Amino acid sequence: MGVAQNPTTTLPRAGVAQGQKTGSFGVVTTTLDQAVNWGRTRAMWPMLFGLACCAIEMMATQASHYDMSRFGMELMRASPRQSDLMIVAGRVSRKMAPVLRRLYDQMPAPKWVIAMGDCASCGGIFNNYAILQGVDEIVPVDVYVAGCPPRPEQLLHGIMTLHEKVMQEKVFTR
């Protein structure tokens, strides 16, 4: 049985397949790793907490002008059990360190950590006994964002860097 032809349809240019011309490829191939990681990077829910001045920039990143929603991240969760991204926004005092570690432990795997700002990354200007000289002393950090404070563009760059990293992960080995 023949396929009905639209008489107004023009022939594709040389080198362009008919499927490309109409946009209907019909079949998509991918790997399980890529499919799962694509889902993870498009629905990464950050935990809702801030420690110091960097948190103001994190709030600005979430607000309408910068709009983290476009990454599927509009839901900042108030519970670690519903979060898979911890953005450590600000300096971490030694008194706060066990609390932060407990929150990390309560997050379901897989989970990721961004150290936002100089204080979270290396203690910043607070080179003293009361402040952790980097949150990587107590939790594994995936991405460090430099700055005091980092601008929202820098945090967004850190998030996109994390997405690139997650896309390289092996789903069943983490």
List contacts with ligand SF4 (CB under 6 A). 52-54, 90-91, 117-119, 124, 148-149
For residue 40, give both structure tokens. 């993870």
**Whole-angstrom distance, CA of residue 115 vs CA of residue 145:** 6
Residue 96: which of 130, 127, 126 has the closest Cα?
Answer: 130
* Min separation Cβ 14 and ligand SF4, Å: 57
**Whole-angstrom distance, CA of residue 104 vs CA of residue 98:** 10
For residue 79, give both structure tokens. 């519970």
* Min separation Cβ 96 and ligand SF4, Å: 12
**Whole-angstrom distance, CA of residue 119 vs CA of residue 157:** 18
For ligand SF4, which is the closer residue by CB, 117 or 152? 117
Q: Reduced to 3 states, what is the DSSP secondary structure of residue 40?
A: helix
For ligand SF4, which is the closer residue by CB, 85 or 145? 145
For ligand SF4, which is the closer residue by CB, 53 or 138? 53
* Min separation Cβ 157 and ligand SF4, Å: 16
For ligand SF4, which is the closer residue by CB, 41 or 149? 149
Judge contact between 131 and 118, C-beta under 8 A: no
* Min separation Cβ 76 and ligand SF4, Å: 18
